[in-house]
């Protein structure tokens, strides 16, 4: 039996081992899910809604415990981890509204009555990365369950604990055995089996663009629908007519939150040339004040990176670059990395590749057209922010930037009630928002001759 050793990123010390599931165990979980899904789909809409509300309530009762686990396995600051656990409960509560609202249509036709139904796929496979282990899991499992599916979920090898606990809490809340099964294990074993297993009828994958592309190719061979949430290289676009103080104060959170290990991280800052020096002058104290340290401390804004290997990769982005200034980070054990601001040119590696660490590239632009061109000069298209006090410009630029999730004078990307997802190499399909559950259904049309 193979095991995954878990390491506390804040200390570098290993603290637990989790058994990695085999192919046979994965197949057995899918077989149980097939059976559980039939009864779940036959439940009344109110029955499914009530079960999800009970699940939400049980999660809410365990916010402290879930948050502590996320601090331990992922190094998230405690206040962020508590937000994440509460967010899971909110996604469940919001999804609980869906079973009673998945209305079909009645379409006028000759000679009878025509109606559509939103039928669940059956079993849905959800594959989760390590950066936001429980929130991203919930974006898949909650609406999939609401739509009448069973779910098999594979957490990332480095961070399985919160997902495993959520699987236990689902049972505690009274969800039927086999309906929602968390299967820790290796991507190429468990995750790949979701792609090839004929009874897994839809896959949701969040992770790197490289692996996501392979998952999509595998799903294509099975004619299996797939939702992909992949990488990003999003931009903060700061115009000369912005409130520069507000923008500069917001930038650290927009890229250094979760130590930059965020698909929505604004890892490029595009600044209009006429305010470039002034903006950097405002940014420097904001970066120096960004508190990096013990994730158990309530004052901490940023913890460590996830692993030693990942820290090496992030560090490689600083080779030969022009560092403008850095914040501070603890030294010693743990995978620490100080927030870093780099002056860059459009062709530089630091300005083109996803870093997934607390490193941001600053680039100047001349005018609105130049800003749009630079913002779109990337294979990715996930998130981004536009900073301007000019309403017309805000509308024009937000329509012109090829990204799925934008904000104006804000760095927020995620709300459970609004759609989330990427364009271009950042993904396919959308999660969250009013249509989330419908994305886990297929439309059936039935004509009744009269």
Contact set with ligand NAD (CB under 6 A): 127-132, 136, 154, 156-157, 187-188, 191-192, 206-208, 211, 214-215, 229-232, 263, 354, 356, 382, 422, 426-427
Considering the complex, state which of residue 178 and residue 191 has its C-beta at the smaller distance from ligand NAD: 191
Beta strands 112-120 and 441-449, pairing class: antiparallel
We find the least distance from the C-beta atom of residue 94 to ligand NAD, in angstroms, to be 17
We find the least distance from the C-beta atom of residue 132 to ligand NAD, in angstroms, to be 6
Considering the complex, state which of residue 48 and residue 197 has its C-beta at the smaller distance from ligand NAD: 197
We find the least distance from the C-beta atom of residue 159 to ligand NAD, in angstroms, to be 9
Beta strands 123-127 and 112-120, pairing class: unpaired
Q: Note if 229 is an active site residue.
A: yes
We find the least distance from the C-beta atom of residue 285 to ligand NAD, in angstroms, to be 29
Query: Among positive and negative, which fits the CA dihedral 169, 170, 176, 181?
Result: negative
Helix (H) or strand (E) holding 92: helix 78-95
Contacts of 64 (CB under 8 A, 6+ apart): 82, 85
Structure tokens that stand for 39 in this block:
């009864």
Considering the complex, state which of residue 148 and residue 155 has its C-beta at the smaller distance from ligand NAD: 155
Considering the complex, state which of residue 74 and residue 338 has its C-beta at the smaller distance from ligand NAD: 74
Instruction: Indicate which residue of 25, 73, 84, 229 is catalytic.
Output: 229
Structure tokens that stand for 110 in this block:
């000759």
We find the least distance from the C-beta atom of residue 382 to ligand NAD, in angstroms, to be 5
**Alpha carbon distance 324, 344 (integer Å):** 10
Q: What does each C-alpha distance from 396 to 60, 372, 391, 412 come to in angstroms? A: 41, 10, 9, 19
State the number of CA atoms in the 13 A half-sphere of 417 facing the CB.
4
> SS3 breakdown of the chain: % helix, strand, coil, rounded to 5?
40, 20, 40
- Active-site residue set: 229
């Amino acid at each position: 039996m193979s095991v995954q050793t878990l390491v506390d990123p804040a200390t570098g010390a290993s603290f637990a081992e989790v058994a990695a599931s085999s192919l046979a165990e994965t197949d057995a979980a899918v077989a149980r899910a097939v059976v559980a899904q039939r009864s779940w789909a036959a439940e009344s809409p109110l029955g499914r809604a009530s079960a999800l509300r009970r699940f939400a309530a049980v999660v809410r009762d365990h916010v402290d415990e879930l948050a502590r686990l996320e601090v331990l396995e992922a190094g998230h600051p405690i206040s962020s981890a508590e937000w994440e656990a509460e967010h899971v409960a909110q996604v469940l509560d919001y999804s609980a509204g869906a079973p009673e609202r998945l209305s079909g249509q009645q379409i006028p036709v000759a000679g009878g009555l025509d109606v559509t139904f939103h039928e669940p796929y059956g079993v849905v496979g959800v594959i989760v990365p390590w950066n936001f282990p429980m929130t991203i899991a919930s974006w898949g499992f909650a609406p999939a369950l609401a739509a009448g599916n069973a779910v098999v979920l594979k957490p990332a090898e480095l961070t399985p604990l919160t997902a495993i606990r959520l699987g236990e809490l689902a049972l505690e809340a009274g969800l039927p055995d086999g309906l929602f099964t968390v299967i820790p294990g290796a991507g190429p074993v468990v995750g790949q089996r979701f792609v090839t297993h004929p009874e897994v009828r839809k896959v949701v994958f969040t992770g790197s663009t490289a692996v996501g592309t392979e998952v999509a190719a595998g799903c294509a061979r099975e004619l299996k629908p797939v939702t992909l949430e992949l990488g990003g290289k999003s931009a903060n676009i700061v115009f000369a007519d912005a409130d520069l103080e507000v923008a500069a104060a917001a930038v650290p959170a927009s890229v250094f939150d979760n130590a930059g290990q965020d698909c929505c991280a604004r890892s490029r800052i595009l600044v209009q040339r006429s305010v470039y020096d002034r903006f950097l002058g405002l940014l420097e104290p904001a970066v120096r004040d960004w508190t990096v340290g013990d994730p158990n401390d309530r004052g901490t804004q940023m913890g460590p990176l996830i692993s030693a290997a990942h820290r090496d990769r992030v560090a490689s982005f600083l080779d030969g670059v022009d560092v403008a200034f850095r914040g501070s980070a603890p030294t010693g054990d743990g995978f620490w990395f100080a927030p870093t601001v780099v002056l860059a040119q459009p062709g530089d590696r630091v300005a083109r590749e996803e870093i997934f660490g607390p490193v941001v590239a600053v680039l100047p632009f001349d005018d609105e057209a130049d800003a749009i061109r630079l913002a779109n000069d990337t294979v990715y298209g996930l998130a981004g922010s536009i900073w301007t006090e000019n309403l017309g410009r805000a509308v024009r630029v937000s329509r012109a930037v090829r990204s799925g999730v934008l904000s104006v004078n804000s760095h927020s990307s995620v709300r459970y009630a609004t759609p989330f997802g990427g364009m271009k190499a950042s993904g396919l399909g959308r999660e969250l928002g009013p249509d989330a559950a419908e994305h886990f259904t297929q439309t059936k049309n039935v004509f009744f001759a009269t």
